[in-house]
Amino acid sequence: MEFKLKIWRQKNASAKGKFEDYTLKDVSPEMSFLQMLDYLNQQIIESDGEPVHFEHDCREGICGSCGLYINGRPHGPLTHTTTCELHMREFKDNTTIVIEPWRSKAFPVIKDLVVDRSAFEKVIRAGGFVNANTGSTQDANNIPINKKISDRAFDAAVCIGCGACVAACKNSSAMLFVSAKVSQFAMLPQGKVEAKERVENMVTKMDEVGFGFCSNTYACEYDCPKGISVEFIAKMNREFFSSKVCKSKK
């Protein structure tokens, strides 16, 4: 297979970036997308150029490091698939592939295709946890949890923190990411105790670090590699408003 690649190159955070064109020959359909980039980088290095920087680690769809905007879609053309799980057999031979970093004010570009996602960390640190100290708890089976509820909490907990939801949203909203964490804990008895404080703190922080409002287009769910449902956004909104209502009653 042969491809024309249009790749965003940017030396560092303050430099002005631009698209550069590359022609890549002898691509195997069995290559993963990142192996294709490795292959390109080997050729760039051998011809004395600077390789394209991109983030990756586990290469099996679970660490959330990789995240490329491919032909106008976060993680490329397949649903429920991270960039590292995408394979070249999904692309048509002799076509152009446009590769960009996540685009969001809250995720500034660091270099080439690498962005700074530390805004997510700030939101998690604002309340994405249960306040339980090590060793302070009881036997695990003393907290029975309905299987359906537990499974639903798991569905929210599978978020890999890649940022595709933000990249997909035209408002760069992080509602899907934040709501997944808020919902996981709000559904479980362990997290219910402090659910109100949690949702308030996390939502406030989310606004503060530069994420936009929900666009209601569901693009986040559509492009989430783990298929996290927008129902969690509704759940978070409910949690948020009820916490406000409770407060005003006091």
Partner 1 sequence: MIKLDSKIPKGPLAGKWSNYKSSLRLVSPANKKKLDIIIVGTGLSGASSASALGELGYNVKVFCFQDSPRRAHSVAAQGGINAAKNYKNDGDSVYRLFHDMIKGGDFRAREANVYRAAEVSNYVIDHFTALGVPFARDYGGMLDTRSFGGVQVSRTFYAKGQTGQQCLLGTYSSLSRQIAKGTVTMYERRDMLDLVIIDGKARGIITRNLLTGEIERHSAHAVVLATGGYGTVFYLSTLALGSNASAAWAAHRKGALFANPSFIQIHPTSIPVLNDYQSKLTLMSESLRNDGRVWVPKEKDEKRHPNQIPEAERDYYLERRYPAFGNLVPRDVASRAAKERCDAGYGVGDTGLSVYLDFKDAIEKQGKKAIEDKYGNLFEMYLKITGINPYEEPMRIYPAGHYTMGGLWVDYNLMTTIPGLYSVGESNFSDHGANRLGASSLMQCSGDGYFILPYTISDYLSDEIRTPRINTDHEEFDKAEKAAKEKIDRLMAINGKQTVTSFHKRLGKILWDHCGMVRSEEGLKKGIEMIDQLEEEFWKEVKVPATAGEYNQELEKAIRVADFFEVGRLMCQDALDRNESCGAHFREEFQTEQGEAKRNDAEFAHVSAYEYQGNRQREILHKEPLVFENVELKERSYK
Footprint of partner 1 on 117-156 (CB under 8 A): 117-118, 120-121, 124-126, 128-141, 143-147, 150-151, 153-154
Min CB(218)–partner 1 separation in Å:
22
Between 107 and 214, whose beta carbon lies closer to partner 1? 107
Residue from the set 14, 21, 25, 30 that interacts with partner 1 by CB under 8 A: 30
Residue from the set 7, 188, 219, 228 that interacts with partner 1 by CB under 8 A: 188
DSSP 171: T
Between 175 and 180, whose beta carbon lies closer to partner 1? 180
Regarding 247 and contact with partner 1 (CB under 8 A), the answer is no
Q: For residue 69, which of 42, 93, 33 has the smallest C-alpha distance?
A: 33
Regarding 45 and contact with partner 1 (CB under 8 A), the answer is yes
Regarding 24 and contact with partner 1 (CB under 8 A), the answer is no
Between 42 and 96, whose beta carbon lies closer to partner 1? 42
Q: In sequence order, what are the beta bridge partners of 111?
A: 114
Regarding 87 and contact with partner 1 (CB under 8 A), the answer is yes
Long-range contacts of 196-200 (CB under 8 A, 24+ apart): 196/239, 196/242, 196/243, 196/246, 197/127, 197/243, 198/127, 198/128, 199/127, 199/236, 199/239, 199/240, 199/243, 200/240, 200/243, 200/244
Residue from the set 6, 9, 35, 71 that interacts with partner 1 by CB under 8 A: 35
Min CB(19)–partner 1 separation in Å:
20
Hey, CA dihedral for 152, 157, 163, 164, is it positive or negative?
A: negative
Regarding 55 and contact with partner 1 (CB under 8 A), the answer is yes
Min CB(163)–partner 1 separation in Å:
10
Regarding 14 and contact with partner 1 (CB under 8 A), the answer is no
Q: CA-CA distances (angstroms) from residue 241 to 125, 153, 200, 205, 244?
A: 21, 20, 9, 16, 5
Token pair listed for 249:
């009653």
Q: In sequence order, what are the beta bridge partners of 4?
A: 23, 96
Regarding 116 and contact with partner 1 (CB under 8 A), the answer is yes
Q: Report residue 166: phi and psi, to 5°.
A: -70, -45
CA angle 168, 66, 191 (to 5 degrees): 75
CB 170 within 8 A of CB 217: yes
Between 55 and 239, whose beta carbon lies closer to partner 1? 55
Min CB(98)–partner 1 separation in Å:
22
Regarding 242 and contact with partner 1 (CB under 8 A), the answer is no
